[in-house]
Amino acid sequence: MVMHILAESIVVSVLVLIIAIAIDLLVGDPSPNNPSKLRFKLHPTVIMGKLTKALEPHFKSSNPKVEKLNGVFLALTVIFTFALPVFFGLWFLFTWLHLLFYAAVATVILKFTVCIKLETDWANAAAKAIAADNLNEARKYSHFSRRDSKDLTGAQIGSAVIESMAENLIDFKLSPIIAYAFLGVTGAVAFRAVNTLDGMVGFKDREHINTGWFSANLDTVVNYIPARLTAVLIVLASALLGADYKNAWSIARRDNAKTPSRNHGWPMAAMAGALRVQLEKPGQYVLGEPDDALSADKVLLALRIRDVSIVLCILFALPILVLVRLFLFPF
């Protein structure tokens, strides 16, 4: 009887992951270009961000040490506000109601922790615009990388889009999947909260240097292994697609420390090497070598490498998911 329940739990856990990703590929996420739309306002990540900004002023202090301590409480407050209801809600559904109720709710929640389709649509649109030399249109899709796109060339826009895909491969794809494998839906939600906190307050400017220090460092810690795994998966995906996987690993090792982030430099440098292009954020960093022109085709190849990396990550995560459900907890 116990083994039957465990077997059902494992099958359901695998299906939750697969169906959540399938839903994202079909439906996607609301575009941040339309922030007034209700669908965007109700997205859990948006709500996390709004809660963080609303709470932050209450954790300010004239004493830097106190403000840093308050930053810890700010992060924990946001994380637990979302993670605890998810944990106890799913526990109740799993324990007291039919497994199908649990599976349906878990799938919907997990879907909100990943973002694939929106970025795919934007990358394809950017590549099309770059190929047509329509820079005004292409500039609409470069803002993921937090840079002023007003004066960017086609190659620089392509670089911004590719850098974003490589960086977001950690934050919006692989890390949530890995978190789910080890810690279930609650783990994926907790990761999304950590990542959102970093995006909202994890800056070194005067306003956030103290209240955001813990959020920034926590994001660095939880992404430390996934970031390096992402670089390895990019190398493997490059080999499967016939890209320059040797150069991907060489550039990843050489250039990973050139970016301000201790983590994001790994996948960005690996992608630059795989594509044999130079990725650059003017005035901040240069990754890779300009062996090939940074064209629209390179954007599309980066998209294929990203997709294969996601598939490889799922294959990597599945045995972990099974072992965790067998020996630690069933949901």
User: What is the per-residue pLDDT for 145?
Assistant: 60
User: What is the per-residue pLDDT for 4?
Assistant: 59
For the stretch 57-88, pLDDT in tens is 999 999 999 999 999 999 999 999 999 999 99
Pull the structure tokens for residue 34.
Answer: 């339309």
Whole-angstrom distance between the N-terminal and C-terminal Cα of the chain? Answer: 17
For the stretch 278-330, pLDDT in tens is 999 988 999 999 999 999 999 999 999 999 999 999 999 999 999 998 888 77
The number of domains in the chain is 1
Residue 46 CA to residue 63 CA, distance in Å, equals 30
Q: Is the pLDDT of residue 204 over 60?
A: yes
Q: What mean pLDDT comes out for the span 121-132? A: 95
Element of type H or E holding 281 = strand 279-281
Domain span at residue 218 reads 2-327
Q: Are 173 and 164 in contact (CB under 8 A)?
A: no
Q: What angle do CA 290, 295, 296 make, to 5 degrees?
A: 150
**Dihedral in degrees, nearest 10, Cα atoms 249, 255, 256, 261:** -160
For the stretch 153-163, pLDDT in tens is 889 999 999 99
Q: Is the pLDDT of residue 225 over 90?
A: yes
Q: Are 219 and 194 in contact (CB under 8 A)?
A: yes
pTM for this one? 0.95
Half-sphere exposure of 217 (CA within 13 A, CB side): 10
State the SS3 of 226-246: HHHHHHHHHHHHHHHHCCCHH
Pull the structure tokens for residue 117.
Answer: 């389709």
Q: Are 168 and 153 in contact (CB under 8 A)?
A: no
Q: Are 182 and 324 in contact (CB under 8 A)?
A: yes
Q: How many helices (H) and strands (E) does the chain have?
A: 14, 2
In 3D space, the residue among 197, 214, 226, 199 whose CA is nearest the CA of residue 82 turns out to be 197
Pull the structure tokens for residue 268.
Answer: 């960005």
